[in-house]
Chain A
Amino acid sequence: MSEPAISVRGLSKRYRLGTISRHTLADEVTYLYHKLRKRNVAEHMGKISLAGVPDVTDPHRHDSHDFWALQDVTFDVQPGEIIGIVGGNGAGKSTLLKILSRITEPTEGEAFITGRVGSLLEVGTGFHPELTGRENIFMNGTIMGMRVADIRRRFDEIVAFSEIGQFLDTPVKRYSSGMFVRLAFAVAAHLDPEVLIVDEVLAVGDAAFQKKCLGKMGDVVRQGRTILFVSHNMAAVENLCTHALWLEHGRVRMLGETSEVVEHYLGSSQITQQEDSIRNRKDRQGTGRARIVDFYVTDEAGKRQNVLRPGNRYHFTLECELNVNTLSLQNVVASVALTDLRNETVWLAHSKFTHEYQTLMPGVNRLTCTVNDFSVAEGVYNATLSLGQGEVEPLDLITNAAEINIEGGNFFGTGSKGSPTLCKTLTRASWSLTT
């Protein structure tokens, strides 16, 4: 095996909470004064040792205000590997990238990176509003570590990629935010490092441009670069990365094949379990003229179910409340959507698809959707509920209103569960052979 492109050994980073940036000269002077006085006092009192007594005036003391953002992180990345770094907020992902980009120094440990390093923690770093797009390409490129000669050589490519065109010689302060981001990413995409460190920069720009960026990243991947990629977008991690590193509370929880790590990570992550009942949920969108107050699933016998089995028949019921002092509400449509843990919608039942428009009466109404042959594969899902008046007025929308567990069942009649990691929906099909 060749030498690793990135080798991280026992990396730790400590932050001091509370005391950060609160130092003023006055604090220090007070501290010195107290220290000197204390010593005098101690001397007068016959040299009583103050050791062991916490000195509250000492701003350099070690105490519980220390926060370890990273603790003893060790891993290797082989050349050509693309490592996705996953983990919840505060897991230490950004800190790790900052240290590897040399923006800050570790408290303990060391790391070796072989090859030129390019780090992309932000797009457009160092853009100067007064300078033109052209000038900023050079400025930004050199800040990222490119040589002017390299930028000149790839200038046309960068401009073409950015789609800036005629605005090349306009000061960037007159750019729309979309143009700004496109130009910034265009420069970043043409960095030619052997090791690339990327933070969530893909979460910018419009959808079309994001797709282009992902495509560009894919090209970079095929060129055999080593990439360290932090993202909350699991789909992007799974598409791009060969391996994944899962950080939790500053420690390495798991390192391995992307699909395996992502699966474990998602499985462990606390699903947004709502304490509140649906009636008390505050995170709603819509006008609220009618409100969803309850949601449940029942089987054919009318019994409420928390775990659903594919292949069975179910009734999804939304209880909706309309103010008793109002008139009835016509043309009401409702929907139930199931999203997987990657937040992608895998199943959607909408009454407008079937042109079923209901009239809600003042008081409580029950809207029931019947599904004959439930065809979602095993897993944990979230139900998102919506209520609207035709296409005109969104009445109520609750994202992740309830958790739906799906397991078991005999959808295919063969005992097969399909391939839930590959495809979340189940389809019965028959096969024939012609020769």
Chain B
Amino acid sequence: MQITHIKARQPWWIINWRELVDNRDLFWLTVQRDLTAIYKQSVLGPLWFVLQPVLTTVVFTVVFGNFAKISTDGLPPFLFYMSGLVLWNYFQGVLNGAASSLMSNAGILRKVYFPRLLPPLTSVVTYLGHFLINFLVFLGFFAFFFFKGSAIHPSWWILLLPVLIFHCACVGLGAGLWLSAMTIKYRDVSFALPFLTQLWMYATPVIYPASEVSAKWKWVIAVNPMAGVIEVNRFAFLGSGSPDRVILIVSFLVGIGLLISGVFVFNRAQRTFVDTI
């Protein structure tokens, strides 16, 4: 017989993993709901999954490529931006999803218990769905430019893509869990979040190549766990830029560290969060 033990001041490192597994049905249903309910009652429906990345890329191409004339390392600007955005959007989705998970589910979490790690975890998979569609769109444009004879040189680094995706999920989830825990105590965080993600994007070589960064600011690229992977992804598919192995490995370690610390900080914060919201 299953025994539930409720106890004051549970230590922060105690996480009931078994409970997470037991709730897998809820996990998959939530993913399914988030993927299907999002564009309901819109005329274009699921077409938005495709339209959004394309439109964002078009805007970037026009604004940063044509007006600001930021270098794209000689690559077709459209493909350049899309290659950065495809991973960045995944990361940002997971980050925002995880960061707002407690607050946006507060109504439910006040009335029923299920592992609070579940909602942030679902955003990892939900946005993976978004990512796959974005990625297919990207592959389409990639093939188009490739056969048109543009100067793009895919390499064997492409095989690293699953690792890059996993890394984005780690950093997004890790940072998201930290922010989510902080939002409970400091409502300011949720207001600062959109600004923060935007700032983070500008500190990441999404709209510019890392090669354009002056020596003075190179350290930003080095400490930013998202910079390395965006650059590697671009190199893998388009063949520009120079992936720095050291930075890449440091990024991975930072990502894992962020995730592990995030899980525990979140776990500590979720236990009494309904008392303070």
Contacts and interface: CB of A to CB of B under 8 A. Distances in A.
Interface of A: 12, 15, 20-21, 23-26, 28, 98-117, 119, 121-122, 125-126, 128, 130-131, 135, 138-139, 142-148, 171, 194
B3 A112 contact: yes
Contacts of B188: 24-26
Which 8 A-B pairs give the minimum distances between C-beta atoms? Answer: A142-B26, A102-B113, A111-B6, A113-B4, A122-B111, A110-B7, A25-B188, A25-B186
Instruction: Give the contact-size bracket for chain B.
Output: 35 or more
A128 B277 CA distance: 22
Contact of A103 (B7, B23, B110, B186): B110
Given A100-B6, A105-B10, A148-B25, A131 B112 contact: no
A103 B6 contact: no
B33 A109 contact: no
B218 interface: no
A45 B35 CA distance: 63
Given A135-B33, A138-B29, A98 B3 contact: no
Contact of B33 (A23, A26, A102, A131): A131
Contacts of B7: 106, 110-111
Given A104-B272, A130-B37, A110 B5 contact: yes
A387 B49 CA distance: 66
Contact of B8 (A110, A145, A146, A147): A110
B112 A144 contact: yes
A98 B272 CA distance: 11
Given A105-B10, A112-B5, A139 B274 contact: no
B40 interface: yes
Contacts of A119: 112-113
A24 B6 contact: no
Given A109-B8, A125-B108, A142-B26, A104 B275 contact: yes
B250 interface: no
Contacts of B41: 130
B185 interface: yes
Given A104-B274, A115-B1, A28 B186 contact: yes
Contacts of B26: 142-143
B276 A101 contact: no
Nearest to B37: A130
Given A15-B275, A24-B187, A28-B186, A107 B111 contact: no
Contact of B114 (A15, A122, A143): A143
A106 B185 CA distance: 19
Nearest to B34: A128
Interface in B28-62: 29-30, 33, 37, 40-41
A18 to B, nearest CB: 12
B222 interface: no
B114 A145 contact: yes
A121 B4 contact: no
Nearest to B4: A113
A113 B3 contact: yes
Interface in B225-250: none
A129 to B, nearest CB: 9
